[in-house]
Amino acid sequence: MATTVGKEGDLGSLVEDLIKLDFAAIDAYDAAITRLSSSEFKRQLAEFRDDHTEHTRVLGAWMRQQGDTPPEGAGPKQLLSTGKVVLAGLAGDKQILEAMKTNEEDTNTAYERAVNHREAGPVRGICERNLADERRHRAWMEATIARL
């Protein structure tokens, strides 16, 4: 799923869409964790899921400070990201991680765009920290898939 997150015209919509994307990632991580056979992979993915949970918490707090109500879930985005993991689960751990890597590609792209968004100033630091997490997630998945 090629994401469009990060192309929003205004900061409020950008932050809202980032939160929804992180919620979709959380749902996909939950689906992956229940389908993986490797306890090492389950543990690592649980840590990554917790990073996404923290992203929703911090961005949600920022939205509340602006007087807005943050989203409480992914909405339709969840169906695409979780669906790939469910289908991959039929084939094994490597395929699950490959599906999760495609989801991480989307979160990396979204946060890269967010960092460079013309209105990102008030949340740029948050987005930079989240992008560092996303890059770490993707790097682990790439290295792990290469080993399998």
pLDDT tens sequence across 52-86: 999 999 999 999 999 999 999 988 655 555 666 66
Q: DSSP assignment of 82-110, as one string? A: HHHHHHHTTT-HHHHHHHHHHHHHHHHHH
Q: Which amino acid is at 38?
A: S
The two structure tokens encoding residue 84: 């790939």
CA proximity to 70, closest of 21, 143, 126, 4 = 21
Q: Which domains does the chain have, with CATH numbers?
A: 11-147 (1.20.1260.10)
pLDDT of 2 reads 75
Q: Is the pTM of this model over 0.85?
A: yes
Please say whether the beta carbons of 33 and 59 come within 8 A. Answer: no
